[in-house]
A and B are shown apart, each in its own frame.
Chain A
Amino acid sequence: MSKKLINRRELIRNAAIGGAALAAPLHFVRDAHAEAYCNMPTGKTVTLGFNVPQSGPYADEGADELRAFKLAVKHLNGEGDGGMLNTFKPSSLKGNGILGKKVVFVTGDTQTKSDAARASAKRMIEKDGVVMISGGSSSGVAIAVQGLCQEAGIIFMAGLTHSNDTTGKDKKRNGFRHFFNAYMSGAALAPVLEKAYGKDRKAYHLTADYTWGWTQEESMKKFTEQIGWKTVKTVRTPVGAGDFSQYITPVLNSGADVLILNHYGKDMINSITQAVQFGLRDKVVNGKKFEIVVPLFSRLMAQGAGDAIKGVYGSTNWNWQLQDAASKAFVKSFGKEYGQPPSMAAQTCYVQTLLYANACEMAGTFSPAGVVKALEGFKFDGLGNGPTEYRAADHQCFKDVLVVRGNEKPKSKFDLLEVVEITPRAKVEYDPKIFGGELGPVNAKPC
């Protein structure tokens, strides 16, 4: 009888062979590499970064965006009533997180400043290990963070950003925008303004002095001049100016009979309130009643501006009073959670989170390369805006645009905007080449 002993060499050799045999299948499993792309999730959770203005002139929008992000995460993880997960089609979402990993999130305050937003996003990428960043409420911020995400190899799902530049000259392959833009606002609003106020009007623009304001002014000027209006003057105002009186007083004697306020958030609340205080809406100029137009309108702003917005025309990405099944499901879910209906900023952020999660499920990976491929040209419905397409050429969503007016007789404190027209997608579509810019290659490299 021989006694077989395992010596040290044999032990090491067998252990090495055994280890290699056990690890071999993992080589063929996607995402099993050490770090195939930036912040590849390796545990049981996946972290998303929500970078919103929690202070500054767009803070109200930021607060509502954050509410929506939290609700989306809840629904993705299979909690709550599911909201628009139940109406979204075609959907690969299962309500078990993303690719089986529980969704967790970190938040940051952009302060409505590009440098603060970039610092916050950088912290999320480098310290918190996020695979996707969403948020915004300012195009300056969105463009800055989109650029950072492109450099870092992270997906950026833009929140509220309306500048033509976001998916125009500053577009990036890793960035996607669901929200509509200034061009679409101008194209949708002009025919309605023509019907309401006629062809012979003189417009004066007060414009927030940054990328969104500039493109909003440019688009409104282009489309109102196409219907025969003349532009008397365009004046740039600093963001967060607060007191706009020194910019409003020159309007009174300018000969203009329409004031177009290319302002948003608290700036718009202040400027329209002060314009009304200065008696602009009671004036008769050139034999016509003086009118105010706010190209980008939101319910939160309308709430802040009170009576000043009654009868004022504008455009919006979405309204909580829409009666389609998806909008109703979202309003019910959001209202139950927070006791108020969602704003358009909330809707776009909620939708962007779901679209990102769905793209990961479709691609079977969190890798930016897979996500970009899944989102480019993706056609979907059931998220509140009707049939929508993520155009591959510029990563801009195309869908119908709502033209709204400040409600003269609101039935509740939330019933502030009435939808006067739904402009079909075909009328607001444009050639992606008109705004220039290049998407460039996808960045899916490790951090």
Chain B
Amino acid sequence: MDAILLQVLNGLDKGGAYALIALGLTLAFGTLGIVNFAHGALFMLGAFTAVSFNKLLTLQKVVLDTAHKTPWGDPVEIRTPYVEAMFGDFGKFMVDWSVPLSILVAIPVMLLIGVIMERGLIRHFYRRPHADQILVTFGLAIVLQEIVKHFFGANPIPQPAPHIFAGSADVGAWLGLAKGTIVYPWWRLIYFAFSAVVIAAVFAFLQLTTFGMVVRAGMRDRETVGLLGINIQRRFTIVFGLAAVVAGLAGVMYTPILPPNYHIGMEFLVLSFVVVVVGGMGSLGGAVAAGFLLGILQSFASMNEIKSLAPGIDQIIIYLVAVIILLVRPRGLMGRKGVMED
């Protein structure tokens, strides 16, 4: 029982990441009809917004301590971040909380990147075949990767979670089980909660606002909405920016779980496409449901009891499930008729 609950938790936090990326991918596809292979790069750019913000906060003042020497005879360097020197404890707090604070920076940055990407490049490919869209967005992803690699190097850059969330929570005790039976890292729980909040916010935005209603109408029948005198293109551009923000925020919050490098987006991209296809092309609910479903299944497949029955199943479970679902439901879990079928 404990083992099953642990795998559910593990699946939920993995699923949270998959669902967030797949949600953004589906938003872009559902509104603009673009198959965006640069979406993983947006996740990566979000992660590197957190890295850049942390680097900015930890710019250091170096003072030489001549009283103490290193084993090679140089004076010992005492390094203090400028923000700590200037703001004292508040500066320390800012450095410690740099990842959550990066969210505030990432929202405008990712929105801007999304809008520039859509206006500058992707709009020219609306009426082109999907193969062209895939090629150009994949090319863009590689360019973005190489730019990040040039400035940040090829190696992963660790980003610590705030000190207060460094340990693990006794989830078992919350559920009335014996103390210490189920412990789970705080930051992973926070990531799951964060992804749930972002997903809920996106759905609320689309379901409860006039802007969202117009966008949904446009997703169903772009031409008719246009005939009503609504500039649907402008709204879709904003939605593309919103998709970039969702991917970026997923990247920011993931940095304490996995130190980011320039390639991190590609690792998630393939999985996210599988999630989108399993969920149903263009279906936001499907993307979220498939994200969590595949996360949990992947987690369960890693259990030793399962692996002893089917060795190596943890490596292929996602693709196996995708094949089965597409055989049974060719449009995915919640796919609509007519999407990607022309």
Partners in one complex: yes
Could you say which of A12-20, A144-152, A183-191, A245-253 contacts chain B? A245-253
With A242-B258, A335-B74 as known contacts, state yes or no: A252 contacts B6, CB within 8 Å: yes
Contacts of B156 in A (CB 8 A): 242, 266
- The verdict on A279 contacting chain B, using a C-beta distance below 8 Å, is yes
Give the contacts of B79-99 with A (CB-CB under 8 A).
none
Pair A277/B154 contact, Cβ less than 8 Å: no
Give the contacts of B46-73 with A (CB-CB under 8 A).
70-73
- The size bracket of the interface on A is 35 or more
Q: Which residues of B contact A (CB under 8 A)?
A: 2-3, 6-7, 10, 13-14, 70-74, 76, 154-156, 158, 166-168, 180, 183-185, 187-188, 257-259, 267, 298-299, 302-304, 307, 314-315
Pair B73/A336 contact, Cβ less than 8 Å: yes
Partner of A331, one of B10, B71, B74, B304: B71
Contacts of B155 in A (CB 8 A): 55, 59-60, 266
Partner of B257, one of A243, A250, A332, A341: A243
Pair B73/A253 contact, Cβ less than 8 Å: no
CB distance from A66 to the nearest CB of B (A): 13
CB distance from A332 to the nearest CB of B (A): 5
Pair A253/B3 contact, Cβ less than 8 Å: yes
Contacts of A254 in B (CB 8 A): 304
Pair B183/A279 contact, Cβ less than 8 Å: yes
| Interface flags, A65-88, vs B, CB<8A=1, else 0 | 000000000000000000000000
Pair B73/A279 contact, Cβ less than 8 Å: no
Partner of B71, one of A253, A304, A332: A332
- Leading 6 A-B pairs by shortest Cβ distance: A335-B72, A55-B154, A279-B183, A246-B302, A277-B185, A279-B168
Contacts of A25 in B (CB 8 A): none
The answer for the CA separation of A254 and B166 in the assembled complex, in Å, is 24
Contacts of A245 in B (CB 8 A): 10, 13-14, 188
Give the contacts of A181-229 with B (CB-CB under 8 A).
none
Contacts of B167 in A (CB 8 A): 277, 279
Pair A235/B304 contact, Cβ less than 8 Å: yes
- The verdict on A283 contacting chain B, using a C-beta distance below 8 Å, is yes
With A59-B155, A245-B10, A278-B183 as known contacts, state yes or no: A332 contacts B304, CB within 8 Å: no
Chain B residue nearest in CB terms to A337:
B72
With A55-B154, A253-B3 as known contacts, state yes or no: A243 contacts B258, CB within 8 Å: yes
Which of A243, A246, A332 has the most chain B CB atoms closer than 10 A to its own CB? A246
Contacts of B307 in A (CB 8 A): 235
Pair A277/B166 contact, Cβ less than 8 Å: yes
Contacts of A332 in B (CB 8 A): 71-73
- The verdict on A339 contacting chain B, using a C-beta distance below 8 Å, is yes
The answer for the CA separation of A59 and B298 in the assembled complex, in Å, is 29
CB distance from B170 to the nearest CB of A (A): 8
Pair A250/B304 contact, Cβ less than 8 Å: yes
With A278-B183, A278-B185 as known contacts, state yes or no: A54 contacts B166, CB within 8 Å: no
The answer for the CA separation of A274 and B258 in the assembled complex, in Å, is 10
Pair A249/B154 contact, Cβ less than 8 Å: no
Interface Cβ pair total, 8 Å cutoff? 96
- The verdict on A433 contacting chain B, using a C-beta distance below 8 Å, is no
| Interface flags, A21-64, vs B, CB<8A=1, else 0 | 00000000000000000000000000000000011100110000
Contacts of B7 in A (CB 8 A): 249
Pair A250/B3 contact, Cβ less than 8 Å: yes
Pair A278/B168 contact, Cβ less than 8 Å: yes
The answer for the CA separation of A331 and B259 in the assembled complex, in Å, is 30
Pair A233/B304 contact, Cβ less than 8 Å: yes
With A60-B155, A283-B180 as known contacts, state yes or no: A335 contacts B304, CB within 8 Å: no
- The verdict on A334 contacting chain B, using a C-beta distance below 8 Å, is yes
CB distance from B7 to the nearest CB of A (A): 6
Contacts of B154 in A (CB 8 A): 54-56, 59
CB distance from B190 to the nearest CB of A (A): 12
Which of A243, A247, A320 has the most chain B CB atoms closer than 10 A to its own CB? A243
Contacts of B168 in A (CB 8 A): 277-279
Chain B residue nearest in CB terms to A242:
B258
Contacts of A284 in B (CB 8 A): 180
Pair A246/B3 contact, Cβ less than 8 Å: no
A-B contact pairs, 18 of them (CB 8 A): A54-B154, A59-B155, A242-B156, A243-B258, A246-B14, A246-B302, A249-B7, A252-B6, A253-B6, A277-B167, A282-B180, A283-B180, A283-B183, A335-B74, A336-B72, A336-B73, A339-B74, A341-B71
The answer for the CA separation of A56 and B315 in the assembled complex, in Å, is 20
Which of B74, B158, B187 has the most chain A CB atoms closer than 10 A to its own CB? B158
Partner of A335, one of B70, B158, B303: B70
| Interface flags, A280-291, vs B, CB<8A=1, else 0 | 001110000000
